[in-house]
Amino acid sequence: MVTVIDTVARPRARHPEKAHRPDQDVLRKPDWIRVRAPVSKGYSETREIVRSHNLVTVCEEAGCPNIGECWDKKHATFMIMGDICTRACAFCNVSTGRPEALDRAEPDSVARAVAKMGLNHVVITSVDRDDLDDGGAQHFADVIHAIRALSPATTIEILTPDFLRKDGALEIVVAARPDVFNHNLETVPSNYLTVRPGARYFHSIRLLQRVKELDPGMFTKSGIMVGLGEERNEVLQLMDDLRVADVDFLTIGQYLQPTKKHHPVKAFVTPDEFKSYETVAYTKGFLMVAASPLTRSSHHAGDDFARLKAARERKRTALA
């Protein structure tokens, strides 16, 4: 999910319960999505580990507003298979073009960085690699195996592309047994043509459903951005679609436009609206829901994974 940081302090909105409409004031953002610039010692140490292992992180590539908080705690989301994507989603700031060949040393480099950082939980994502026969599925599996070899106690969450038209790719990744399989829908289906033109909404739903068919015990997760012009009823229908696919965990965060060339922000959704989405999502049966302006797929992923496991255990106990 692509974001930008705005660190300029401004007066608190007089009516935070009302959505802030950028068409009224294009440049101003509500105070509830502002964060401090990263300056801590922990941030610098994490950046050095990332640089020394020649790794790419979605934290930097996507300009995540939570980078200061996460890197201070030695949390980073590694983006494998390069920094050039074969697609051009209207919300995403990752470069589009012809990617380079896969770095066969990357799985070991990621595993060493994970071990050096002492991560209890790690999130691995990637660019889309439509140029590869398997969409990069085997590379994902290689990264998972390399981490397991050096850090067997570390739990692994993956955030994958959709492997569109890549027969057998999903099976390769699931067979590597990540602890959490995440694939983001990003937005409601009515926005796909303009926001996510290279993807297919119902293919993504089916991908998540297929994970559960292959491994019923694997946690599944998906996330969306709001503020892209979606209607509330579309978000609620999306929740239902994910629950039909037996998805366990839903994240909802505010979309922020990375540059003027990207899809515009249609609305800044208020904290109260996010809370309402969270409440509804829980009533629909999700085990975990994270919904707030600054929620991102991998933000607090380790703590959320512990809560996710606890929620499943409570559900099993209640049904026993």
Nearby residues of 103 by Cβ (< 8 Å), 6 or more positions away: 82, 109
CA of 217: how far to CAs of 179, 212, 214, 299, in Å?
Answer: 9, 7, 9, 23
- Residues 123 and 251 sit within 8 Å (Cβ to Cβ): no
Render 91-142 in DSSP notation, one character per residue.
Answer: T--SEES-PPPP-TTHHHHHHHHHHHHT-SEEEEEE---TTSTTTTHHHHHH
Q: Name the residue among 239, 289, 293 with its Cα closest to residue 267.
A: 293
Check whether 298 is labelled as a binding-site residue: yes
Check whether 85 is labelled as a binding-site residue: yes
Check whether 89 is labelled as a binding-site residue: yes
> What's phi and psi for 250, nearest 5 deg?
-120, 135
Percentage helix, strand, coil for the chain under 3-state DSSP, each rounded to 5: 40, 15, 50
Check whether 92 is labelled as a binding-site residue: yes
Tokens of 140: 């994902």
> What's phi and psi for 138, nearest 5 deg?
-65, -35
Tokens of 312: 């499943």
Check whether 70 is labelled as a binding-site residue: yes
Check whether 64 is labelled as a binding-site residue: yes
What residues form the annotated binding site for [4Fe-4S] cluster? 59, 64, 70, 85, 89, 92, 298
Binding residues: 59, 64, 70, 85, 89, 92, 298
